[in-house]
């Protein structure tokens, strides 16, 4: 079977790889990061999320989501309702802390531009869970913007920590780094 490499289009290369577009992705990245940081920060200062009554707010949210499972076209699908009821509802205190500090970590990473693609993925994953729980709010917008940030992972943190962090990490997946032997160039003899 013959393999071909399909080159990236000039438009997508410009949008997602060209540093001339880094300013655009910086604005989007900081905006999405601010949404996450603010949401987590508010939760971190409420006892019903991370204090003496941790889990109370999440329990209320879960009960609301489970109430959306009925009818011909439920907002919350049966399989996700099962997950909420049998996994999350039994450990609301732990999940409450995880949600709160997860939102803060994603927000900070996005704002400073550190491992932006990974942070955007976890933000997108949280948005997906909120959407599956029947909550619309700003989640579809954040979800969509996060897809763009993930696609532009090489430049979305260019005006941030990633400008220095990504080159320092190197391309660990590159075949050149995996190679264990070095061959002399054909014009040189080996000694």
Condensed to tens digits (0 to 9), the pLDDT of residues 59-85 reads 999 999 999 998 889 999 999 999 999
**Res. 34 pLDDT band, cuts 50 70 90:** very high
CA distance linking residue 40 with residue 97, whole number of Å? 10
CA distance linking residue 15 with residue 7, whole number of Å? 15
- Asked if residue 175 has pLDDT above 60, the reply is no
Q: How far is CA 93 from the centre of its chain?
A: 23
Torsion region of 134: left, alpha or beta (phi above 0 gives left; psi -120 to 50 gives alpha)? left
Question: What's the confidence (pLDDT) of residue 191?
Answer: 45
CA distance linking residue 30 with residue 156, whole number of Å? 10
Question: What's the confidence (pLDDT) of residue 2?
Answer: 86
**Res. 3 pLDDT band, cuts 50 70 90:** confident
As a whole number, the mean pLDDT across the chain is: 90
Q: Answer for the pair 117, 55: CB distance below 8 angstroms, yes or no.
A: no
- Asked if residue 178 has pLDDT above 60, the reply is no
Tens digit of pLDDT for each residue in 182-191? 554 555 544 4
Instruction: Kindly list the distances between the CA atom of residue 84 and the CA atoms of 40, 47, 65, 67, in Å, as whole numbers in the listed order.
Output: 20, 22, 9, 12
**Res. 176 pLDDT band, cuts 50 70 90:** low
- Asked if residue 110 has pLDDT above 90, the reply is yes
Percentage of the chain exceeding pLDDT 90: 80
CA distance linking residue 48 with residue 52, whole number of Å? 7
- Asked if residue 54 has pLDDT above 50, the reply is yes
Average pLDDT on 101-123 reads: 97
Q: In terms of pTM, does the model score above 0.95?
A: no
Tens digit of pLDDT for each residue in 113-172? 999 999 999 999 999 999 999 999 999 999 999 999 999 999 999 999 999 998 888 766
Average pLDDT on 10-36 reads: 95
Helix axis angle for 116-132 and 92-112, nearest 10°, is: 140
């Amino acid at each position: 079977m013959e393999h071909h490499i399909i080159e990236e289009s000039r438009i997508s290369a410009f949008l997602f790889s060209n540093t001339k577009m880094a300013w655009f992705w910086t604005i989007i990245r900081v905006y999405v990061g601010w949404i996450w940081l603010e949401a987590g920060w508010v939760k971190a200062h409420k006892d019903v999320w991370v204090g003496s009554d941790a889990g109370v707010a999440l329990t209320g949210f879960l009960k609301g989501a489970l109430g959306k499972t009925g009818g011909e076209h439920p907002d919350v699908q049966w399989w996700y309702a099962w997950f909420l009821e049998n996994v999350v509802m039994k450990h609301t205190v732990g999940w409450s802390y995880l949600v709160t500090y997860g939102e803060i970590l994603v927000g900070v990473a996005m704002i400073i531009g550190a491992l932006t693609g990974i942070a955007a993925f976890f933000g997108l994953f949280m948005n997906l869970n909120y959407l599956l729980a029947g909550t619309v709010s700003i989640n579809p917008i954040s979800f969509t913007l996060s897809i763009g940030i993930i696609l532009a992972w090489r430049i979305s943190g260019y005006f941030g920590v990633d400008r220095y962090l990504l080159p320092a990490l190197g391309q660990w997946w590159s075949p050149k780094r995996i190679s264990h032997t070095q061959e002399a160039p054909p014009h040189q003899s080996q000694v």
